[in-house]
Every structure is written in C-alpha cells, then in structure tokens.
Structure 1
Amino acid sequence: MGEKSEKKKQYILDKAREVFSEKGFKDVTMKDIVDACDISRGGLYLYFSSTSELFLEVLSADVHEDDEEAVGAALSGNASAGDMLALFLKEQKKEILRKKNNLTVATYEYFSVNKVSTKENPLKEKFDTAVRIVEKLIENGIDSGEFYCENPIGCARNLMYVVEGLKITANTIGITEETIDRELMFVLEGLVPDESNS
C-alpha cells in the first residue's frame, strides 16, 4: 500500500474511532462511516469490508499505540519502581475517566455478540501486556526493597482486573476520581512492606 493509501486508511480509522466512541458498536453502519469520512461507499470498501473488520482494526491500532508507549515508559528511566507504577496507574486512571473518544461501550457491545479467538483478540493482548508491565515493575520493586510480594504475576493480574472493572463501572453507573484512587490504593497497599514486622 502506498503512502497516500496508508494516509487514507488512517484517516478512515480515525473517523471510525470517533463514530464508534459516539454510537457504540451495534448501532454503527458502513453508511455512518462513509458519512463521517465524506467518501464514497466504494472508497470505504477498498479498505474495509464490514463494520466488524473496521472496529477490530481501530481496536488493534489503539492497543499497539498504547502498548508501545506504556512499555517504553515502564521499563526505562531512572525512576523508582514505585514511581513508575504510580505513573502507569495514572495513565490507567486517565483511560478510566476518559469521556471523549472512549471505546469501552463499543468494545463490550462488540465482544458480547462476536466470538473472537483468544489469539486474535486485541483486548486480551492489551490486558496481557499491561499485566507483564505491572509484573516487571513489581519485580523491580521487590529487588530494590520497595515492595514485598510473593506472587508478582498474581498481583499484576489482580490489579489489571480491578482496572478493567473500574472501566466498566465508569461507563455504566459512573465513578469518581476518589473512588478510583481508593480502589487502586487498596490493591497497592498489599505491596508495601509492613515496617512494624521488620
């Protein structure tokens, strides 16, 4: 695909992301994407054959972009493991609270009616990458004496399950920043060694 075609495809993905964020997944038609992009139906079908294909591509692009930034931030620099974990969680909190361009509703609508193999599921990939990042940060914190944890992978998974639950809560019944902070701190308190037992 040439550079012009790549730019056109990216333009379609950006516009589709806006449409899916606004309308969810189940109510979006190819006509909605055509209208948002101000292109012909044939022009859209040159790149994508269905809203499902388009949505998975939007999700996949989203996942890879987030992962590259998060992995780089989590594993580089001279900051302490605690500072890096706090930075990682700050980014997760922003995602939980994000109202504009949020794909959470569309994502859950899509996956509630479409069966996608585990290997092809961009959400699983994103979740697994986040778990690996948190696990590495916890291990670094254990090595430096900042954290105590007998099961870093279990703790990392638990933390990311809490984050996913908070995302759903934010988009269904609503949530405050204070609630997010409280729930994340509850999980993190288990990592800090108890000085009174030393």
Structure 2
Amino acid sequence: MDISKAKSKKEIIADKTIEIILNKGLSKLTMDEVAKSCDYSKGTLYNYYSNKDNLIVSAFIRLINKFTYRIDDIEVDENQAIEKKAEFYSEIYSKIFTSLTKEEILRTFEIILDSVNNKKNFSSLKSTFTKYFTVVLDKFEDLFDSKNKALMIQSMLVGLQLYKVFGVDFDKETLTKELKDIILKLCE
C-alpha cells in the first residue's frame, strides 16, 4: 500500500474518532462505530491501531498537534505596539477558552488518566504536551522577554480551564478585556 494513502487512512480514522468522542463521549466510543463512520472494516482499523486505547491516544495527539501548529504559525510583528500584541493574544485565548466546553475539557482529562497505565501512550501524550507548552511558552516569552512571566500567564490559562470544569465561566468580552489587562501589566 502507498505510504501516503496509509497515512491518509490513519488520519481519517483519527479525525473520525475525535468527532465521535466529542459528540458521544469517550466511554461510548467503540471500534465498530469508528469503522462504520469511516466506511472501513473493523479489521482495517486494527491494521493501523492495535487497540482502542492506542486509537484514542493517537487521535488525541493528532488534535493537539493541529492546535499546536496553529499557535506556532501565529506571527506578531516585532515593531507592533505592546497594546496591539496584548489585544491579539487576549483575543486568541478568549476565543479558545470560550469555544471549549466543560465536557471537552473533562474528556481531555479522561484521555490522559486512561493513558497513565499504558507507558507507551503516556509517553506519547507527554511528548505532545511538552511540544504544545513549549510552543505556547516561546510565544509568551517573546512577548514578555521573561520566562517567569510566560510561565505565569500559561499557568493562569490552564487554571481558567479548570475553573470552567467546575462551572465557573466567563463571557468572551470580559475574558478578552481582563486577559489584555493582565498581559499589559506583565509587559511593564
């Protein structure tokens, strides 16, 4: 089989898996349903993924990598005023934060917890998150000229996601304004 065709099938399977997880939840995901949604046989799925856990982790990693590449592609003009940069980043993170549902965040934790007992899956997830957080921290470190300030803002953003899990929510407008103010304070 052509390598690019195999990769394409693997990506289709991973994308459909994420779609099903987001619509029905991780606990209701079955290999049969994934095969049916891809219009492949169940055997085809097992040619690419040894088991359901491997499929779930691979799909999740694909999702995080897409997100990481989007963030990494963000270009901010170095000559742009700090105010504009703060506005830009606060808008992006407000959009991300308000678009994630409580359920999606909980499913992320569920995937991570389910992977703890599988060293290979956990290692893959750890590597993916390390890459993601490195990209995000690099963007903020460039903005603040400080690794400490970059870590503070990143920790705050992760903390906001935990707030959301427990039912504390913010409207996009308020969050954008508050994030911008915090970024500007950290740039002083």
The separation in 2 between residues aligned to 1:13 and 1:30, in whole angstroms, is 12
Tell me, in whole angstroms, the C-alpha distance in 1 between the residues paired with 2:157 and 2:148: 14
> Which 4+ stretches in 1 moved above 4 angstroms?
75-78
- Residues 54-103 of structure 1: per-residue CA shift (max 9 Å, x gap): 22222322333333332232466753454334323322222211158x84
Instruction: From 182, 185, 188, give the equivalent of 1:190.
Output: 185
Secondary structure at the aligned position of 2:147 is classed as: helix
Matched, 1:10 2:11: yes
Identity over aligned pairs, percent: 20
1:125 counterpart = 2:120: no
SS where residue 73 of structure 1 aligns?
coil
Aligned to 1:160: 154
Describe the shift of the 1:32–1:105 C-alpha distance in structure 2 as closer, same or farther (beyond 3 A): farther
When residues 124 and 51 of structure 1 are mapped into structure 2, their CA distance, relative to the original with a 3 A threshold, is: farther
| Equivalent in the alignment of 1:96 | 97
Kept in 2, the 8 Å contact 1:19–1:33? The answer is yes
Structure-2 change in CA distance of 1:76 and 1:185 (3 Å): closer
State the alpha-carbon separation in 2 of the partners of residues 4 and 111 from structure 1: 29
Q: 1:133-154 deviations in whole A, cap 9, x for unaligned? A: 1011212xxxxxxxxxxxx211
- Would you say 1:136 and 2:145 are equivalent positions? no
The residue correspondences of 1:39-118 to structure 2 (distance < 5 A) are 39-74=40-75, 79-99=80-100, 103-115=104-116, 116-117=122-123
TM-score (norm 2): 0.77
- Which consecutive unaligned segments of at least 5 residues does structure 1 have? 140-151, 194-198
Question: Which structure has the highest helix share of the two?
Answer: 2
Letter in 1 for 2:140: V
More moved, 38-47 vs 56-65: 56-65
Normalising by structure 1, we get a TM-score of 0.74
